[in-house]
């Protein structure tokens, strides 16, 4: 089992009586739910980093209704296709959120007996992930400073999370797999049309990433129906537009009784060089 690393000195952390401790004596308590906070207080850029409790709960409530199940299924299938022949693969979910996709991947890879590690900068998300995925090892940590040993991971997964190629390349083994999920050009197009006078398509950038070989793009498209305003609000809170909404957008959002919209995702598969 790959250990987490001490965020202070970089030494491996070993479990001792409900906490993680390194050889230099730095200790980090595990929460009752099972996650451990590996962001030192002096390294925080905000009092409460990442998504707050309300945002995490809204995302959990939305996802548990199965609206994004086609995407979760496709991610799990891609994980099996690229990692399913490895014995005890070490898989890191970087930016795991509340663990909806972590659970899907871990379940799909169960026959391989994977070592699943999951990190998120939000303590509320890490707590939800730990409760949802008791067999995964969850930590509060930044994807820009992963508490993971170099060259230890068979796979890294990043779904709608910040991209830190330098760290992902560092923790991946030679030939390791990187799965990235991004929104497609017309993702939530009908929601945009309902809220904005001039909606625009999502920009899809060049797929090439330094240090990785591009394997394939897996498109995922479906239509979903949201029968009430609360589900629409939960969905909107998961988008980047939530942070930029104004009075007019809030008014239009409140007036939506239901919504049918297309969802569009791309799963991009990369392999680290030997």
- Answer whether residue 224 shows pLDDT above 80: yes
Q: What is the mean pLDDT of residues 231-247?
A: 87
Phi, psi (deg, nearest 5) at residue 221? -135, 145
Instruction: Residue 246: count other Cβ atoms within 10 Å of its Cβ.
Output: 7
Put simply, whether the predicted model's pTM sits higher than 0.85 gets the answer yes
What pLDDT was estimated at residue 50?
A: 77
Q: Give residue-wise pLDDT tens across range 73-129.
A: 999 999 999 999 999 999 999 999 999 999 999 999 999 999 999 999 999 999 999
Q: Where does the chain hold its CATH 3.40.50.150 domain(s)?
A: 34-272
Rounded Cα gap, residues 244 and 221, in angstroms: 26
Rounded Cα gap, residues 102 and 233, in angstroms: 24
- Answer whether residue 194 shows pLDDT above 90: yes
- Answer whether residue 46 shows pLDDT above 60: no
Q: In which band, very low, low, confident or very high, does the pLDDT at 268 lie, cut at 50, 70 and 90?
A: very high
Task: Please state which CATH class domain 34-272 belongs to.
Answer: alpha beta
Q: In which band, very low, low, confident or very high, does the pLDDT at 48 lie, cut at 50, 70 and 90?
A: low
Average pLDDT, the chain: 94
**CA atoms within 13 A of residue 197's CA, in its CB half-sphere:** 1
């Amino acid at each position: 089992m790959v250990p987490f690393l001490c965020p202070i000195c970089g030494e491996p952390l070993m479990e001792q009586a409900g906490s993680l401790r390194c050889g230099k004596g730095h200790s980090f308590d595990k929460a009752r739910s099972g996650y451990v906070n590996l962001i030192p207080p002096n390294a925080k850029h905000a009092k409460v980093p990442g998504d707050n409790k309300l945002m995490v709960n809204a995302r959990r409530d939305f996802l548990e209704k199965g609206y994004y199940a086609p995407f979760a299924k496709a991610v799990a299938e891609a994980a099996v296709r690229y990692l399913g022949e490895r014995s005890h693969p070490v898989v890191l979910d970087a930016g795991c959120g509340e663990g909806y996709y972590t659970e899907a991947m871990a379940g799909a890879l169960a026959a391989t007996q994977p070592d699943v590690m999951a990190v998120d900068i939000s303590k509320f998300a890490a707590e939800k992930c730990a409760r949802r995925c008791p067999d995964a090892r969850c930590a509060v940590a930044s994807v820009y400073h992963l508490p993971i040993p170099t060259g230890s991971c068979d796979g890294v997964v990043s779904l709608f999370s910040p991209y830190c190629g330098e760290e992902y390349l560092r923790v991946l083994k030679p030939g390791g797999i990187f799965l990235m999920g991004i929104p497609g050009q017309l993702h939530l197009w009908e929601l945009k049309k309902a809220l904005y006078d001039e909606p625009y398509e999502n920009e899809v950038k060049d797929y090439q990433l330094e240090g990785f070989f591009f394997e394939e793009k897996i498109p995922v498209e479906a239509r979903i129906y949201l029968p009430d305003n609360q589900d629409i609000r939960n969905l909107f809170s998961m988008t980047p537009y939530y942070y930029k909404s104004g009075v007019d957008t809030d008014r239009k959002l409140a007036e939506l009784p239901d919504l049918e919209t297309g969802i569009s995702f791309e799963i991009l598969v990369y392999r680290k060089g030997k």
